[in-house]
Amino acid sequence: MGTHLNVLDTPAQKGIHVTERALKRIRIVMAKEGISPSEGGVRLGVQGGGCSGLSYNVRFDTQPRERDRVFQFEDVRVFVDPKSFIYLGGMTLDYEETLVRQGFNFVNPNSSRSCGCGSSFSA
pLDDT 10s digits, 107-120: 888 766 555 444 44
Q: How far apart are CA 122 and CA 97, in angstroms?
A: 25
What pLDDT, on the 0 to 100 scale, is given for residue 10?
A: 39
Residues 107, 105, 28, 36, Cα dihedral to 10°: -60
What pLDDT, on the 0 to 100 scale, is given for residue 25?
A: 96
Q: Is residue 4 part of a domain?
A: no
The residue segments making up the domain with residue 71 are 14-112
Terminal-residue alpha carbon distance, the chain:
29
- In CATH, what number is assigned to the domain containing residue 85? 2.60.300.12
The dihedral built from the CA positions of residue 98, 100, 105 and 111, taken in this order, carries a sign that is: negative
What pLDDT, on the 0 to 100 scale, is given for residue 123?
A: 46
3-class SS at 104?
strand
Q: How far apart are CA 119 and CA 104, in angstroms?
A: 9
Q: How far apart are CA 49 and CA 115, in angstroms?
A: 12
Burial label, 32 (beta-carbon count in 10 A; 0-12, 13-18, 19+): exposed
Low-confidence residues in the chain, pLDDT < 70: 1-13, 50-52, 111-123
Q: Is residue 3 part of a domain?
A: no
Q: Is residue 9 part of a domain?
A: no
What pLDDT, on the 0 to 100 scale, is given for residue 50?
A: 62
Query: Number of folded domains in the chain?
Result: 1
Q: Specify the pTM.
A: 0.78
